[in-house]
Structure 1
């Protein structure tokens, strides 16, 4: 992997991880356009740079993470479904990850959902994520599990789940950001352990690429989160819905035309 390729992937990750557009789908397009081979290190890189995006949430919402233990208890309750089901269905998830068509179809279906979600859940009762009950946190965590289907979007699933639980768009998005921290940290930790358990090693150049990628992902994610909250509050999800549909259809057209695409 060249430094240029790493920078492109880090920017894509930072821009798409917290938006309801599926970072996986965008990684497919980015790696295919760059002509990258799906090597073990490339697969590791696309997961490990999530550490930078995780840090962006902690920095932006620093006070919230040190406000009370109740905050962490609710995050744990919301994280639990994905942790359990992720372990139980890990082989099935890996199989689905090998199918770009699954990603493309999920993008389109999720896009259609986003076109109507503002109409379906237009009477929020909770405007502060601190007011979420444990039961609501658990149910939002169940919604997040839908993102185990590649292309669904972790943030999209958890935000829609939050709105279904009567959260406002802003509070649902913020809780989705918070929930990303344990979820993505767990996924990244598992990927790193698996990589080294399988005998993988990192050269000094690869370590440098990982560090630079995380720094770039961190900066871009901060910009994306700030912009997303402002846009979402004013305009809702419809634009993201149409965008997902277009991206999904692009991938489908490429696949049907014989283009070889791979999920990193």
Structure 2
């Protein structure tokens, strides 16, 4: 089967409706508690690297219901409704909820694996800098991890990595004082990097996206600003390839968890294959 149109009373199925409500209420709680009481729910419920002191096992699930801004929330929930409604109408609420959670948890596990690799790479880079400190080595770390947007608090003042880099560039590269400061600032950055939370339902939503493209590849989509209808298999396939490219490009300052998205796709594919193998008669 390549196409399916939900009935009049199924445009907002049960699980989709409740996911929209829960995500909306959690975002409202995030904004309210942050603005009124300076309570950052991301610290408690966002997904942290397992080597961070802030990591808790429940974050593997709770981060799926949190978002980093209204645009983040809206884009995820719109995609969930747009593509997930068709799947839930076809599968029923129980199977769809299982699928959604498996994709979300699988995406989190993939992201944690990437965070482990990234933190190991950062540790190795800092060790190399400590052994052979130089301005050039500092700049390599600066560029790779996009340090221009990071700040370091030193006593009563706040210093940006960009201002420190510019100051060092105007001094001798072998300046002992600058090397000492660089070691301190990079050490602080490593701790900050370990504690950066990841939030959002994007991994689970990408699983839903893939499932729609996999099961209904020839359905036509109208996606702005594309001025013509495009088949789901081309749009979703191209989107996944773009995520793969951006994930391996690993640009400094890119705060999108591309491999979490791809992890959702991977677990969606595995689950669909398992279900298809067990139910060849009336699956797709």
Which is helix-richer, 1 or 2?
1
Larger RCO (alpha carbons 8 Å, 6+ apart): 1
* TM-score using structure 1 length: 0.25
Structure having the higher Rg: 2
Which is strand-richer, 1 or 2?
2
